[in-house]
Amino acid sequence: MQFSRPRGTRDFLPEEMARRRYVEKVMRETFESYGYREIQTPVFESLELIAAKSGEDIVKHLYSFKDKSGRSLALRPELTLPVMRLYINELQRKPKPIKLYYFENCFRYEEPQAGRYREFWQAGIELIGTSYPEGEAEVIAIAVEVLEKLGLKDFELHIGSIGILRKILRESGVKEKEQGKILHLIDKGEREKLENLLKKLKISGENKRILLGILNLSGEKKEVVSKARELLKGRAALEEIEKFESILRFLDLKVQKYSLNLGIARGLDYYSGTVFEIYANRLGAQKQICGGGAYSLAGMLGGEETPTCGFAFGFDRVMLALEAEKEMNIDSKTHVLVVPVSESLLGDAVKISSIIRKSASCELDLMRRKLGRALAYANSEGIPFVVIVGDEELAKGCVTLRDMKTGEQKEIKLSELERIGEKL
């Protein structure tokens, strides 16, 4: 092989592409059925935008470069930032809510492993301009609906609330910046470092007890919510629980199976309210196939602050999860192969192919195969019908249509050929 693919990238062959396009279609149709409309942003953005709200670790994993004019650019590592940039640039004055969806490739410079590639695809939605619970609930429900439509069985939805955590921290006098650090430690599960930081920030024992108590709450809705209420009795964070509960009440109308985990923090500083993650457990280390929640980003990016929430599917992982679970026989094969019995009839075969294409996908044998070989080819490729173009039939204004499955043959008038697709 002279040239090989760049590390961590993939070529997609026709069969896999057919499966990917099918899944993509289900996602698009679901998003659109809720009124989301597709947008597209550039593959690269200014490095400042991408790096703005990101820590060192994230910048380290960017594909970044300078263009010929010395501008610092980066390939997008995700789509929430570009989409919000687009919103601020173009859509701030449009009627709310604004519903956007995307299906795009992203790039991260990481060591490839199972379910992790340097070029990967994300499909997601952003709901901008409303923070009513029915909106947030709907966003979560859409993610679940997609997976259900795809027939994925083995997945778990986990819901948490960064809003509650932030409220507790704010009540304890922790500034925004420190909140980020704390949430990061929570996300990583670094309990020891977390306790040290809390000590350093002089969080009172009572507040610490409440925070750690909340973090440990996970499981069934009723239990988690009532325990959280008890912990937060008489505190401002109680109102966050109430909002959380009303989101869940709306969610319950559409999704029954989920668990709560108030220890979910998600990695990024801009998450502010309800957050959720979906896992396909059989994928192992890279099991998270979807992540999202409510966040505040418009203000940080220089726009007018507005509530937003959304999610992104790790498209490639959704594919892996589906393929691990079931056979996906989705392929778009040619319907008809046109074969002339002799080279002198090639011209007729070309014309006949064009006629057939008005109603069915059709390929002309381009290898000048003999009839027997052509039938073998149709058979091995799973092409269900062969149209044989021969002198004898042409003299009668006909061609022979062969059903490859049954071996049945019949003569068809050229005049009927145009609508042949309806009969196959």
Partner RNA sequence: GCCGCGAUAGUUUAGUGGUAGAAUUGGGGACUGUGGAUCCCCUGGCCCGGGUUCGAUUCCCGGUCGCGGCCCCA
* Closest approach of RNA to the CB of residue 272, in Å: 14
The minimum distance between CB 350 and RNA, in angstroms, equals 18
Cis peptide upstream of residue 97 (ω within 30 degrees of 0): yes
In the complex, least distance from residue 366 CB atom to RNA, rounded to whole angstroms:
10
The rounded distance, in Å, linking the Cα atoms of 182 and 165 is 10
**Residue placing its CB nearer to RNA in the complex, 69 or 406:** 406
End-to-end CA distance of the chain: 42
Shortest distance in whole angstroms from residue 299 CB to RNA: 17
Distance between CA atoms of 36 and 240, rounded to whole angstroms?
28
Which C-beta is closer to RNA: that of 61 or that of 235? Answer: 61
With respect to RNA, which residue has the nearer C-beta, 267 or 303? 267
Pick 286 or 334: Cβ nearer RNA: 286
Taking the complex as a whole, how short is the minimal distance between the CB of residue 224 and RNA, in angstroms?
22
Whose Cβ is closer to RNA: residue 230's or residue 343's? Answer: 343
Amino acid at the residue 342 = S
Cβ nearer to RNA, comparing 39 with 371 = 371
The residue among 137, 158, 176, 155 whose CA lies nearest residue 271 is 176
Least distance from RNA to the Cβ atom of residue 407, Å: 3
Q: How far is the CB of 118 from RNA (least distance, A)?
A: 8
Structure tokens at 215: 């973090």
Q: How far is the CB of 196 from RNA (least distance, A)?
A: 16
In which residue are the tokens 């925070």 written?
211
| 84 vs 231, beta carbon nearer RNA | 84
For residues 205 and 272, what is the distance between their CA atoms, to the nearest angstrom? 24
Instruction: Name the residues that contact RNA, by CB under 7 A.
Output: 1, 4-9, 50, 54, 57-58, 61-62, 77-78, 80, 108, 110-116, 184, 187-188, 266-268, 284-286, 288, 291, 341-342, 367-373, 375-380, 388, 390-393, 400, 402, 404-407, 409
Angle at the Cα of 229 (from 228 to 233), degrees rounded to 5?
A: 120
Of 7 and 351, the one with the shorter C-beta distance to RNA is 7
Q: Which is nearer to RNA, 237 or 402 (CB)?
A: 402
Nearest one of 274, 266, 222 to 247, comparing CA atoms: 274
Choice between 35 and 347, CB closer to RNA: 347
CB of 238 to RNA, least distance (A): 28
Residue 142 C-beta: closest distance to RNA, Å: 18
Q: Taking the complex as a whole, how short is the minimal distance between the CB of residue 292 and RNA, in angstroms?
A: 8
Decide whether 201 or 404 has the Cβ nearer to RNA: 404
